[in-house]
Amino acid sequence: MAKAYASMTREELEALHAELQKKYEEAKAMGLKLDMSRGKPSIAQLDMGMDFLDVLNSGSDMKAEDGSECRNYGLMDGIPEAKRLLAQIMGTTQDHVIVCGNASLSVMYDAVSRSMIQGIDGCTPWCRLDKVKFLCPVPGYDRHFAITEHFGIEMIPIPMTPQGPDMDLVEKFVTEDESVKGIWCVPKYSNPQGYTYSDETVRRFANLNPAAKDFRIYWDNAYAVHDLYEEPERQDHLLDIISECEKAGHPDMVYEFCSTSKITFSGGGISALASSKANLDAIRKAMSIRTIGFDKVNQLRHVRYLKDLEGVKAHMRKHAALLRPKFEAVETVLERELGGLEIGSWTKPNGGYFISFEAMPGCAKKIVAKCKEAGVTLTGAGATYPYKNDPKDTNIRIAPSFPSPEDMAKATDLFVLCVKLVSVETLLGL
């Protein structure tokens, strides 16, 4: 049975520190160059989908199912079959969907930008207001926080739980403060913890009564079909926020986003925004100034390759077969090396792209720095919090997807060595 570090005597800790320091110097000499910083698909995942490029060629019929010519201008909000496919992925209906370009991040940026410049639903544009605030579940997605920081929006951290954000706090801020205009959400297999919002949490979101008429939920459903396991009991399930908002009488309160970036090719996917008719009408009007239409050839390629939701699920099982061993390699090493030491805890997600690690207070930045010095790059400590400010300096995001399973095991071995070393130094006051 492993002995908790905090229960060791100073002499025991000093002996352990000398042993760990020696191992760390040996690890540095190995010359590792491994990257666990971003949730990128591996080359094997990209290679697996190369036949995606073969579904269209110079002899292909380039017409959408409604007869529209995909090589020409028009259909600004997407071809019908692409709307239907992305609606199935999100769990809604195609009348709620606009299909956009390759990246949902761009769609989210545009949504915030429109609110800043034009306003929402006849409300004052945010750029004319003294104060605009967003709620930010933490730890969360750094690129969400980068968007709101870019526009000078004040970010309020909301603690995450395994059921989703602390809804008591969300309800309090949204109901009492008219300057709160939005909340970022990754509702399924959240980034970085891999949590999925409970049915109760989704319904509480749908039943919010915001003080601000232009409050919106920014529902980034990035991992809607990204299960790691085939067994139904190991797959998380998420309620459809669009229909729940309609039932609650708040159809306009949510913008939902998704993309195929981690389904087909990350640089060559398609994205979508789902919302109410009133919201979509306003968005189409603004979009008509910006574009005559997105890449309909790519939309057609996606539909002919993936076909429907069952085709998507079959394709995602291939992704899971490549990802699952990496997640399990990380979890095995963490449990074997850190179990019982009481110097860290970690999530064990059923899907998504990340594992979230909680170190001892004040240790995350030092752990990340030691890993980098020894050749393993992690997401910067603090990145999962607004303004890169993790107040307790505990959270580290682990992204297992890009390295091979063997490299992943090596990187995790080094990571746990750094966790142990920094934890001992902290307990010794070094």
Matching residue, tokens 């067994």: 231
Residue-averaged pLDDT of the chain: 96
Q: DSSP character for 50?
A: G
What pLDDT sits at residue 404? 86
- C-alpha angle 277-289-286 in degrees, rounded to nearest 5: 30
Query: How far apart are alpha carbons 28 and 34 in whole angstroms?
Result: 12
Q: Which DSSP string do the residues of 84-130 spell out, in sequence order?
A: HHHHHHHTS-GGGEEE-SS-HHHHHHHHHHHHHHT-STTPPPGGGSS
| pLDDT tens digit sequence for 2-14 | 889 999 999 999 9
pLDDT of residue 430: 87
Q: How many CA atoms does the CB half-sphere of 6 hold within 13 Å? A: 6
pLDDT confidence band for 1 (50 / 70 / 90): low
Among 222-226, 246-250, 289-293, 382-386, the minimum mean pLDDT is found in: 289-293
* pLDDT recorded at residue 37: 86
- pLDDT mean over 328-355: 96
Residues 154-202 have pLDDT tens digits of 999 999 999 999 999 999 999 999 999 999 999 999 999 999 999 999 9
Out of 34-43, 206-215, 262-271, pick the least confident: 34-43
| Residues 234-268 pLDDT 10s | 999 999 999 999 999 999 999 999 999 999 999 89
pLDDT of residue 27: 93
Averaged pLDDT for residues 200-211:
98
In this prediction, residue 342 carries a pLDDT of: 96
Residue 56: pLDDT above 90? Answer: yes
Rounded-to-integer distance, Cα 380 and Cα 283, Å:
35
* pLDDT 10s digits, 63-79: 999 999 999 999 999 99
Percent of the chain with pLDDT over 90: 93
- Which two tokens mark 176? 């009492």
Q: What is the mean pLDDT of residues 222-229?
A: 98
The answer to whether 269 and 261 have CB atoms below 8 angstroms apart is yes
One DSSP character per residue, 354-398 reads: -EEEEESTT-HHHHHHHHHHTTEEEPPTTTTSGGG--TTS-EEEE
- Identify the pLDDT of residue 36: 84
pLDDT in tens, 289-308: 989 999 999 999 999 999 99
Domains of the chain (ranges, CATH numbers): 5-45+314-428 (3.90.1150.10), 62-307 (3.40.640.10)
Quick: pLDDT tens for 74-132: 999 999 999 999 999 999 999 999 999 999 999 999 999 999 999 999 999 999 999 99
